[in-house]
Amino acid sequence: MNIYDVSKKAGVSIATVSRVLNGNANVSEKTRERVLSAIKELDYTPNVFARGLGLNTMKAVGIMCTDSSDIYLANAIYYLERELRRFNYNAILCCTGNDAGARKSCMQLLLDKRVDGIILAGSQFICRDAGVDGYDYIIEAARELPIVLVNGRLDGNRDGCRLYSVLCADREAVCSAASQLIEAGRRNIVYLYSGTSYSSLNKLDGFTDAMNQAGLPVRPEYLRQCTRDIAGARGSLEALYSSRMPFDAVIASDDMLAVGAVKFAFAHGIRVPDDLEIIGYNNSVLANCTEPELTSIDNRVELVSTRAVRLLIQVLGGGSAPPLDIVAAELIKRNTTKF
Amino acid sequence: MNIYDVSKKAGVSIATVSRVLNGNANVSEKTRERVLSAIKELDYTPNVFARGLGLNTMKAVGIMCTDSSDIYLANAIYYLERELRRFNYNAILCCTGNDAGARKSCMQLLLDKRVDGIILAGSQFICRDAGVDGYDYIIEAARELPIVLVNGRLDGNRDGCRLYSVLCADREAVCSAASQLIEAGRRNIVYLYSGTSYSSLNKLDGFTDAMNQAGLPVRPEYLRQCTRDIAGARGSLEALYSSRMPFDAVIASDDMLAVGAVKFAFAHGIRVPDDLEIIGYNNSVLANCTEPELTSIDNRVELVSTRAVRLLIQVLGGGSAPPLDIVAAELIKRNTTKF
DNA sequence: TTGTATGCGTTATCAT
DNA sequence: ATGATAACGCATACAA
């Protein structure tokens, strides 16, 4: 079942069939209809490989992420795929984990597959310990096809590179949230985080911004890094607590960690939000699970993901796009804060 | 940069290059090395389209699901993709939502893309309101390529179909859990569920099994269907509560609903697990978020997903496989139950 | 062991 | 408006 069968059935040449298939105007209405009905009758669909061979495109983009089961990334992937398919692109998913080598080979795999573009979902691709040439594989790839970072940032102003970043204004969001806690009278605020990704460090900066603006000291004991799970967050606060360092608020870089904070408070009979205010990040489903429910910073996954795809589509269509697109976050107030 | 360039550089014919590429034994060690070094020097990678055109395979499988942001499905997708890539297959993700038409067009899209196989992830593809010919699109597709249902079940014993189901013994799991509650003295057990998917109805059957085995009546007011979120679950229990129907245990078809049950209890000062025992399903991260933490049935996403891929790989390799592969669930005891 | 030639199913460039 | 034909880059049957 190929284009020849259709051309035979319709009594035209394969060129005409191809023209109909690709919406070429140079076809009379009569023949177009004849061809279309032949296509329908034979239930013909063009062979992607042959088409790809000629056009060098498969109408697919690669989505790379560290872990698609992470709640934030799972949402990002959902929105990315939905938007991509809206533009008739398929999504090829690649979970790389945190190993640098795996990332490179994943990227290479996608390049070899001749995808039309690549989306790097999640801030984990840009992190402190990447090293000087840690992003070379991205830069190089961006010379071959457009690459969009979702919630990560890498400068795309190098010549010959098509590298774009779409992200949320994390720093400003945390700064604003921290400022509100300070205004509400909190003085001993803990900042709880896990990774050293671009986004994570950015949030941390936002926290210190707020402290500086308020003229409050940023004490290193209150910047607490822990493993990325409930127990890690809780444990970190336990340690601080037993060392008798007072704290009256917690800002977490992820709802998961904020859940740990709620559990810590519960275990010690500390009242939330009266004695301890807690703010999470991502505004994920986890924020609705605790008691009281978490106030959380919404970093707009859907919006960011959608814009990332739109941007990519535009570039794939030969258009241009700004290398940086920043979306504002939104504080969703629930019951772990008083303001 | 193609196979001709490599052959020129290595001073051999393209046939020899192809042989080296495909691990054909009929190449002398000397020429093989010469070719390999030429490949490396030119940084050559074969064109997937040309290769696909000849072999009619793209080393990719489609993963269809209703919603990749659902926690269970997100996990399934993660494990599926990981295992697929372990066997050098890429994953093309397609989220269909709940619309039947979208499912069919998604399936067609994947068929047109000439994927090597398709995995239908999640029980939502098989559901009560599918209608008599509701699965025809799956059956027909299975005539063209192997299809594996993850956590759904469709009979694959039709001739010419390669249709397989890998799933968890949900019915037995719920039956066992309910039986344990009954043994512990609970008499008024609520079964809380949301969908009418294969898996969902199966769990419901497991619940009635347990009641029947214990000689207890299955009262329809205690089989409560609600929307698939925390508020829905909570609301459903509120309704039951205000109608003064006593209940002392809840089994939920999903951790999300169980969270709603915990919240309901908290709101009314009902002690968990003393006055109300609660059991969730999926053993997801949500089970760790509540206070007390949820006892939950672990339906082994990782195992099921991994086995599904292994089965598919086997079939793709020309081997045969059982049409049905069932994995046992496991009850993870935490603090919303007393036993 | 190696090379030649053909087929795979399109798209696109010419003619007509 | 339509048709013939040359790419596209690989695998492979067959020849040497």
Chain C bases near protein Cβ (<7 Å): 1-5, 7-13
Could you read off the pLDDT tens digit of each residue along chain B, which spans 339 residues? Answer: 899 999 999 999 999 999 999 988 889 999 999 999 999 999 999 999 999 998 999 999 999 999 999 999 999 999 999 999 999 999 999 999 989 999 999 999 999 999 999 999 999 999 877 776 789 999 999 999 999 999 999 987 778 899 999 999 999 999 999 999 999 999 999 999 998 888 999 999 999 999 999 999 999 999 999 999 999 999 999 999 999 999 999 999 999 999 999 999 999 999 999 999 999 999 999 999 999 999 999 999 999 999 999 999 999 999 999 999 999 999 999 999 998
Q: Tens digit of pLDDT for each residue in A160-177?
A: 899 999 999 999 999 999
Chain A 36-65 residues in 7 Å CB range of strand D: 50, 53-54
Q: What percent of chain A has pLDDT over 90?
A: 91
Residue numbers in B near A71 (CB within 8 A): 69, 71, 74, 285
Protein A45 CA to nucleic acid D3 C1', in Å? Answer: 22
Protein B88 CA to nucleic acid D15 C1', in Å? Answer: 35
pTM strictly above 0.75: yes
Residue numbers in A near B306 (CB within 8 A): none
Q: Nearest residue to C2, CA vs C1'?
A: B16
Query: What domains appear along chain B, each with residue ranges and CATH number?
Result: 3-53 (1.10.260.40), 60-168+301-328 (3.40.50.2300), 170-299 (3.40.50.2300)
What's the pLDDT band for A158 if we cut at 50, 70, 90?
Answer: confident
The answer to whether the beta carbon of residue B249 comes closer than 7 angstroms to any atom of strand D is no
Closest nucleotide to the alpha carbon of A32, via C1': D1
More confident residue, A196 or B241: B241
CB contact under 8 A, B67 and A50: no
Residue numbers in B near A68 (CB within 8 A): 68, 74, 77-78, 81
Mean pLDDT, to the nearest integer, of A43-53? Answer: 94
What's the pLDDT band for A198 if we cut at 50, 70, 90?
Answer: confident
SS3 per residue for chain B: CCHHHHHHHHCCCHHHHHHHHCCCCCCCHHHHHHHHHHHHHHCCCCCHHHHHHHHCCCCEEEEEECCCCCHHHHHHHHHHHHHHHHCCCEEEEEECCCCHHHHHHHHHHHHHCCCCEEEEECHHHCEHHHCCCCCHHHHHHHHHCCEEEECCCCCCCCCCCCEEEEEECHHHHHHHHHHHHHHCCCCCEEEEECCCEHHHHHHHHHHHHHHHHCCCCCCHHHEEECCCCHHHHHHHHHHHHHCCCCCCEEEECCHHHHHHHHHHHHHCCCCCCCCCEEEEECCCHHHHCCCCCCEEEECCHHHHHHHHHHHHHHHHCCCCCCCEEEECCEEECCCCCCC
Residue numbers in A near B46 (CB within 8 A): 112
Model pLDDT, residue A132: 66
CB contact under 8 A, A263 and B291: yes
